[in-house]
């Protein structure tokens, strides 16, 4: 059946470029490092790229594409902005750049999957994991509702168990009489297994302090992460204490960190059949209140892991591996 072209409203394209990122299709590499902070893009580009072919900045979304010095492979450094709603816009536009023929506004008959590593900062939930550690996300629990608008099958039975455990925990921890108690719906996603394994191997090989575990992706930074700064009430004031009691049982993984984008990235890109994983530095310990503001070293380490993992996957011609299994 012939495809209906996407309308100008479905996919806004201005002067041949996607509306928010201001990128044209040839300006995106198939391998992407996605960071929250736009300033991280020129920093990583300056440290890691031998040359650049694209440098665009629009609405705070900075993108630089070029050749990585260490791997001689083309990579795009892309800004997600903060949180799932901003990330949703960015990932849809990346997918459109990869899949849509801008001349006909129809989906190409064939396209290669993107490989995306989210590289960010996070708050530590496991007191045994020191500040400065890179957490490689095995599973991510989304507490934003952006992910719920994408009806993507469960990636496996472990995600089912984690969703149930978190749903029960959040419902039980809500403040008595809270208007929205029991109405925060968690969803679970996981990193591409091949990409995660490659990142872990590289981290071990390079001697970079790292841990693997579960990441909680919140809808905001303050009440959504258990910070009681505002003068309003909170639906789950004891969120951190509640999370600390979670026993994932047989799964054997701990909650390691809390940030704001990983779950949506893994959920959405996994649903497209793309490869995605998340690497986030622990920059503070939520249990003891510490916070460090200089994490350049960790961002460089994380980006190197991603570049090297991209090279390994390409050498092995490994297809995305998130659709089946646990
Ligand atoms: O360092 P980035 O990638 O922005 O990630 C973390 O930092 C921001 C909050 O300070 C959120 O985006 C959170 O996910
Ligand atoms: O505590 C933290 C630290 C970084 N990013 C977050 O979202 N939370």
Mean pLDDT of 287-304: 92
Average pLDDT over the chain, rounded to an integer: 95
Nearest CA to ligand 1 atom 12: 82
Residue 252's pLDDT is 81
Distances (CA, A) of 52 to 106, 146, 161, 180: 29, 33, 44, 48
Lowest mean pLDDT among 69-83, 121-135, 241-255, 258-272: 241-255
Tell me the whole-structure pTM to 2 decimals.
0.97
Lowest mean pLDDT among 2-6, 159-163, 280-284: 2-6
Q: Domain range holding 239?
A: 13-316
Percent of the chain clearing pLDDT 90 (strictly above): 90
Mean pLDDT of 213-239: 96
Mean pLDDT of 209-214: 97
Domains of the chain: total:
1
Residue 202's pLDDT is 98
Please work out whether the CB of residue 260 comes within 6 Å of at least one atom of ligand 1.
yes
- Let me know if residue 32 belongs to a domain: yes
- Let me know if residue 49 belongs to a domain: yes
pLDDT digits (tens, 9 = 90+) for 98-157: 999 999 999 999 999 999 999 999 999 999 999 999 999 999 999 999 999 999 999 999
pLDDT digits (tens, 9 = 90+) for 184-195: 999 999 999 999
- Let me know if residue 77 belongs to a domain: yes
Residue 168's pLDDT is 96
- Let me know if residue 5 belongs to a domain: no
Nearest CA to ligand 2 atom 5: 122
Q: Enumerate residues 6+ apart whose C-beta is below 8 A from 278.
A: 117, 118, 119, 120, 136, 137, 140, 191, 215, 261, 262, 265, 266
Residue 221 has pLDDT above 80, yes or no: yes
Buried b (16+ CB within 10 A) or exposed e, 191-219: bbbbbbbbbbebbeeeebebbbbbbbbbb
- Let me know if residue 260 belongs to a domain: yes
Please work out whether the CB of residue 314 comes within 6 Å of at least one atom of ligand 1.
no
Mean pLDDT of 6-24: 97
Please work out whether the CB of residue 123 comes within 6 Å of at least one atom of ligand 1.
no
pLDDT digits (tens, 9 = 90+) for 301-325: 999 999 999 999 999 977 776 544 4
Residue 14's pLDDT is 97
Dist. CA 105–CA 107, nearest whole Å = 7
- Let me know if residue 191 belongs to a domain: yes
Three-class HEC string of the chain? CCCCCCCCCCCCEECCEECCCCCCHHHCCCEEEEECCCCHHHHHHHHHEEEEEEEEEECCEEEEEEEECCCCCEEEEEECCCCHHHHHHHHHHHHHHHHEECCCCEECCCCCCCEEEEEEEEEECCCCCCCCCEEEEEEEEECCCCHHHCCCCCCCHHHHHHHHHHHHHHHHHCCCCCCCCCCCCCEEEECCHHHHHHHHHHHHHHCCCEEEEEEEECCCCCHHHCCCCCCCCCCCCCHHHHHHCCCCHHHCCCEEEEECCHHHHHHHHHHCCCEEEEEEEEEEECCCCEECCCCHHHHHHHHHHHHHHHHHHHHHCCCCCCCCCC
Which ligand does the CA of 44 lie closest to? 1
* CATH number of the structural domain spanning residue 275: 3.40.50.1580
- Let me know if residue 321 belongs to a domain: no
Residue 242 has pLDDT above 60, yes or no: yes
Residue 131's pLDDT is 95
- Let me know if residue 324 belongs to a domain: no
Which ligand does the CA of 123 lie closest to? 2
Residue 96 has pLDDT above 70, yes or no: yes
Please work out whether the CB of residue 301 comes within 6 Å of at least one atom of ligand 1.
no
Residue 323's pLDDT is 42
Residue 324's pLDDT is 40
Please work out whether the CB of residue 283 comes within 6 Å of at least one atom of ligand 2.
yes
Residue 53 has pLDDT above 80, yes or no: yes
Residue 322's pLDDT is 52
């Amino acid at each position: 059946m012939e495809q209906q072209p996407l309308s100008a409203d479905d996919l806004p394209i201005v002067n041949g470029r996607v509306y928010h990122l201001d990128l044209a299709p040839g300006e995106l590499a198939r391998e992407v490092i996605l960071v929250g902070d736009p300033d991280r893009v020129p920093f990583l580009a300056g440290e890691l790229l031998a040359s650049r072919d694209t440098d665009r900045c629009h609405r705070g979304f900075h993108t630089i594409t070029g050749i990585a010095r260490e791997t001689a492979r083309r990579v795009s450094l892309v800004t997600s902005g903060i949180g799932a709603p901003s990330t949703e816009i960015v990932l849809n536009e990346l997918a459109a750049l990869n899949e849509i023929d801008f001349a006909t506004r129809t989906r190409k008959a064939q396209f290669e999957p993107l490989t995306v590593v989210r590289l960010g900062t996070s708050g530590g939930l496991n007191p045994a994991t020191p500040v400065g550690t890179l957490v490689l996300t095995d599973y991510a629990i989304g507490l934003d509702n952006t992910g719920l608008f994408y009806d993507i099958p469960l990636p496996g039975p472990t995600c089912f168990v984690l969703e149930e455990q978190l749903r029960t925990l959040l419902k039980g921890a809500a403040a008595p009489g809270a208007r929205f108690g029991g109405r925060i719906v968690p969803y679970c996603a996981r990193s591409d297994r091949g990409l995660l394994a490659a990142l872990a191997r590289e981290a071990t090989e390079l001697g970079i302090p790292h841990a693997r575990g579960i990441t909680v992706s919140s809808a905001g930074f303050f009440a959504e992460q258990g910070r009681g700064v505002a003068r309003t009430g909170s639906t789950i004031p004891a969120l951190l204490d509640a999370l600390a009691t979670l026993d994932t049982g047989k799964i054997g993984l701990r909650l390691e960190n809390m940030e704001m984008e990983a779950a949506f990235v893994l959920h959405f890109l996994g649903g497209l059949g793309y490869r995605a994983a998340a690497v986030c530095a622990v920059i503070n310990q939520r249990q003891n209140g510490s916070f460090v503001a200089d994490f350049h070293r960790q961002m460089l380490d994380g980006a190197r892991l991603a570049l090297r993992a991209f090279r390994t996957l390409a050498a092995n011609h490994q297809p995305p591996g998130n659709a089946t299994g646990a």
